[in-house]
């Protein structure tokens, strides 16, 4: 069964510092990979996704992620944190062989940004 592990339930960075949120998946076949962000009292918003092709994926708000098959990882980065980046971030996977919308989520990482 597929699973997703996000290392660190809370990450704190200073404004302007590098943001690195870690995600590892467990699957015999590389799945589709997603990063979502959730602001308080809101639903989830897609930041970026990896399906096929180039392993470095650029998303919205300056975020990017790199798919590394050998490390079964899909870490999310942003060169310079902004106060507005404070939110909860979720890594998710879906089965390549399933047409359907079944996402398996990690436990989430809450990002705090200090002024």
Partner 1 sequence: KAGVTQTPRYLIKTRGQQVTLSCSPISGHRSVSWYQQTPGQGLQFLFEYFSETQRNKGNFPGRFSGRQFSNSRSEMNVSTLELGDSALYLCASSAGVLGTDTQYFGPGTRLTVL
Q: What separation in angstroms does the CA of 112 have from each of 35, 49, 81? A: 17, 23, 10
> In this structure, what is the dihedral angle of CA atoms 97, 102, 107, 110, given to the nearest 10 degrees?
110
Please state the closest distance from residue 45 (CB atom) to partner 1, in A.
Answer: 7
* Site for partner 1 contains 63 (CB under 8 A): no
The tokens describing 81, both together, are 């944190």
Among residues 58, 68, 82, 102, the one that binds partner 1 under rule CB under 8 A: 102
Judged by beta carbon, residue 14 or residue 26, the one nearer partner 1 is 26
* Site for partner 1 contains 106 (CB under 8 A): yes
Judged by beta carbon, residue 26 or residue 80, the one nearer partner 1 is 26
Among residues 30, 59, 62, 108, the one that binds partner 1 under rule CB under 8 A: 108
Q: Would you list the DSSP string of 33-73? A: EEEEEE-TTS-EEEEEEE-SS-SEEE-GGG-EEEEEGGGTE
Please state the closest distance from residue 47 (CB atom) to partner 1, in A.
Answer: 11
| Positions that interact with partner 1 (CB under 8 A) | 32, 36, 41-46, 49, 51, 90, 92, 94-108
């Amino acid at each position: 069964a597929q699973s997703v592990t996000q290392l660190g339930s809370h990450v704190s960075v200073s404004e302007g510092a590098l943001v690195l949120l870690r995600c590892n998946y467990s699957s015999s076949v590389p799945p589709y990979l997603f990063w979502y962000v959730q602001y308080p009292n809101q639903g989830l918003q897609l930041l970026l996704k990896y399906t096929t092709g180039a392993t470095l994926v650029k998303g919205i708000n300056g975020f990017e992620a790199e798919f590394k098959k050998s490390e079964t990882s899909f870490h999310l980065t942003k060169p310079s944190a902004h106060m507005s980046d404070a939110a909860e971030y979720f890594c998710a996977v879906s089965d390549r062989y399933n047409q359907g919308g079944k996402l398996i989520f990690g436990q989430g990482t809450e990002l705090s940004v200090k002024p």
